[in-house]
């Protein structure tokens, strides 16, 4: 059963924004090489116990099956149901149906994880500093908070607003949010320079409201080659930004 069918089986009535978000997520879930590219850039920062904030249907969790403990936090019912069904045979994988604003709590206590990961969600959260602070509290003192977010406000357009993005980041603006949340930045880099132009064109020129499947599938096929190229020559900008921070004393 595909991820898209899992979402469909779990779906309830949603708002137009939620419809667009989860239609796009369902399509992106099938782009294995693209998702693995992002994971490969983060892999060295991920410890044995991981909390995936806003895990959706588990696009990222599928790369963490060898970790000792993985917990996905997901507030949206259909995605939570789909992820729970998708990984029900993995004893080391669990899910919590709750919001980040309620964490830490009894189910997700403070300082429980070596790594707290948030994939392409921070840009849709109203208070990014408070959200990062909650992630910091879930992270052990020497652990890592790992963020992948949309990059560069110059690419912000109709596609962003239709899928719920409130902002896009650069290294300076995301680093400022990390510092305000008592996180010390230990790594920052851009990912997918060609994707910036594709997003700019789709979002600002064509004013699309859904991620276009044709360019996304092309990017998926090219991902291994783009990954190798960007490791050799780090890009000065990109579609996404990766930033890693460690908790500091408050």
The string over 81-111, giving b where at least 16 C-beta atoms fall within 10 Å of a residue's C-beta and e elsewhere, is: bbbbebbeeeeebebbbeebeebeeeebeee
Q: What is the CA radius of gyration of the chain?
A: 17
pLDDT at 12: 43
pTM comes to 0.90
Q: Could you read off the pLDDT of 156-193 as tens digits, one per residue?
A: 999 999 888 999 999 999 999 999 999 999 999 999 99
CA separation for the pair 16, 169 (Å, rounded): 25
pLDDT at 215: 86
CA separation for the pair 132, 184 (Å, rounded): 12
Q: Could you read off the pLDDT of 13-65 as tens digits, one per residue?
A: 445 555 555 556 566 667 899 999 999 999 999 999 999 999 999 999 999 99
Provide the domain limits for residue 28: 3-247
Count structural domains, the chain. Answer: 1
CA separation for the pair 190, 14 (Å, rounded): 33
CATH number at residue 173: 3.40.50.150
Q: Given a cut of 60, is residue 70 above it in pLDDT? A: yes
Q: Could you read off the pLDDT of 139-159 as tens digits, one per residue?
A: 999 999 999 999 999 999 999
CA separation for the pair 198, 38 (Å, rounded): 17
Residue 203: C-alpha distances to residues 26, 124, 173 (Å): 19, 16, 21
- Please, how many CA atoms are within 13 Å of residue 173, restricted to the half-sphere of its CB? 13
In this structure, the dihedral spanned by the alpha carbons of residues 146, 148, 152 and 153, taken in order and rounded to 10 degrees, is -100
**Interval 227-240 mean pLDDT:** 96
Token code pair at residue 64: 């963490």
CA separation for the pair 43, 154 (Å, rounded): 29
Q: List CB contacts of 239: < 8 A, sequence separation 6 or more.
A: 150, 151, 155, 191, 192, 193, 194, 195, 196, 198, 199
């Amino acid at each position: 059963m595909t991820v898209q069918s899992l979402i469909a089986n779990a779906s309830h009535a949603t708002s137009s924004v939620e419809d667009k978000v989860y239609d796009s997520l369902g399509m992106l879930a099938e782009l294995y090489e693209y998702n693995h590219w992002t994971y490969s850039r983060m892999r060295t920062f991920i410890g044995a116990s991981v909390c995936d904030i806003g895990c959706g249907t588990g696009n990222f969790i599928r790369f963490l099956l060898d970790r000792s403990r993985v917990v996905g936090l997901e507030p949206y019912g259909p995605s939570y149901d789909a992820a729970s069904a998708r990984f029900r045979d993995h004893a080391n994988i669990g899910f919590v149906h709750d919001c980040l604003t309620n964490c830490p709590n009894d189910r997700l206590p403070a300082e429980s994880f070596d790594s707290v990961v948030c994939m392409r969600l921070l840009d849709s959260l109203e208070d990014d500093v408070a959200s990062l602070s909650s992630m910091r509290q879930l992270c052990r003192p020497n652990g890592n908070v790992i963020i992948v977010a949309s990059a560069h406000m110059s690419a912000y357009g109709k596609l962003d607003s239709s899928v719920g993005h409130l902002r896009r980041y650069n290294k300076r603006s995301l680093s400022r949010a990390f510092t305000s949340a008592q996180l010390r930045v230990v790594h920052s880099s851009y990912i997918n320079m060609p994707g910036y132009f594709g997003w700019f064109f789709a979002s600002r020129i064509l004013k699309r409201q859904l991620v276009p499947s044709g360019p996304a599938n092309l990017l998926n096929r090219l991902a291994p080659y783009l990954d190798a190229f960007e490791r050799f020559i780090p890009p000065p900008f990109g579609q996404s930004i990766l930033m890693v921070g460690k908790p500091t004393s408050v």
